[in-house]
C-alpha cells in the first residue's frame, strides 16, 4: 500500500488522553477530519488530472483508485486517503482511438505532451482490456515499469495513482488545512 500522510490539529497534543477532551470538541474534531478527508478526494483528483492525463472518472470512479480508506471515529481522529499503488496501463493514455493490432501509437501521459511510439502496438488482454505492448530484440525490458508477458514481449505502464498523489499532496495541503480549521471552528460554534 502507498504512503500515508497526516495533517495534525495543533493544541490537542498537550492532552494526555482522549478521556480529558470534552465530548463536543472531540466530536467536532472527528466530523471536521471526516469532512476534510472526504473533500480531499475530488480536490486531489482534479490536481492530479492537471499533471497526468488520467481518463475522466478514473481516479474517483467505481474502481476506488483514489479513495477514503479510513475515517476518524471514537478516540482515533485520523482520516486517510489512499491512491492505488499498481502502475497504470499505458494503454489508458493512448490518443487517437487505436485498436488491437494497430502499430505505432501516440500516448499522452502529461497533458499537452504527446509522444509517438512507432514500435508499440495495442493488444487485447485475457481480461478483455487493452494493453500497450512492445517487442524487443535483445530481450531486455524497454523501461523499468514494463512487464514481460512473453519472449521479448512487454506490456508498458505509466505512473501509479499513488505516485502522482505523492506529488500532489503538497499542492492541496494548504486548502485542506484551511478547510479542516474552518470546519472545526464552525462545528464548535454550533456547540453540538
Is 175 within 8 Å of 43 (Cβ atoms)?
Answer: yes
Question: Does residue 13 register a pLDDT over 60?
Answer: no
pLDDT tens profile 72-119: 998 888 999 999 999 999 999 998 877 887 789 999 999 999 999 999
Q: Is the pLDDT of residue 4 over 70?
A: no
Angstrom distance (rounded) from CA 81 to CA 5: 8
132 compared with 190, residue with greater pLDDT: 132
CA proximity to 174, closest of 36, 49, 48, 31: 36
What mean pLDDT value characterizes the chain? 85
Domain boundaries, the chain: 18-86+161-190, 88-158
- pLDDT tens profile 30-49: 999 999 999 999 999 999 99
The whole-model pTM stands at 0.80
Amino acid at each position: 500500500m502507498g504512503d500515508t500522510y497526516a495533517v495534525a490539529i495543533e493544541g490537542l497534543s498537550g492532552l494526555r488522553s482522549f478521556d480529558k477532551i470534552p465530548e463536543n470538541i472531540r466530536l467536532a474534531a472527528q466530523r471536521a477530519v471526516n469532512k476534510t478527508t472526504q473533500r480531499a478526494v475530488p480536490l486531489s483528483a482534479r490536481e492530479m488530472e492537471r499533471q497526468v492525463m488520467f481518463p475522466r472518472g478514473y481516479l474517483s470512479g467505481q474502481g476506488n483508485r483514489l479513495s477514503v480508506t479510513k475515517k476518524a471515529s471514537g478516540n482515533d481522529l485520523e482520516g486517510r486517503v489512499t491512491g492505488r499503488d499498481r502502475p497504470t496501463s499505458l494503454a489508458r493514455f493512448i490518443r487517437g482511438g487505436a485498436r488491437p493490432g494497430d502499430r505505432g501509437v501516440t500516448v499522452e501521459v502529461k497533458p499537452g505532451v504527446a509522444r509517438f511510439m512507432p514500435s508499440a502496438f495495442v493488444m487485447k488482454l485475457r481480461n478483455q482490456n487493452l494493453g500497450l505492448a512492445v517487442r524487443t530484440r535483445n530481450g531486455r525490458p524497454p523501461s523499468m515499469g514494463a512487464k514481460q508477458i512473453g519472449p521479448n514481449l512487454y506490456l508498458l505502464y505509466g505512473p501509479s495513482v499513488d505516485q502522482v498523489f505523492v506529488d500532489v499532496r503538497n499542492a492541496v495541503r494548504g486548502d485542506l488545512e484551511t478547510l479542516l480549521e474552518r470546519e472545526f471552528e464552525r462545528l464548535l460554534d454550533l456547540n453540538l
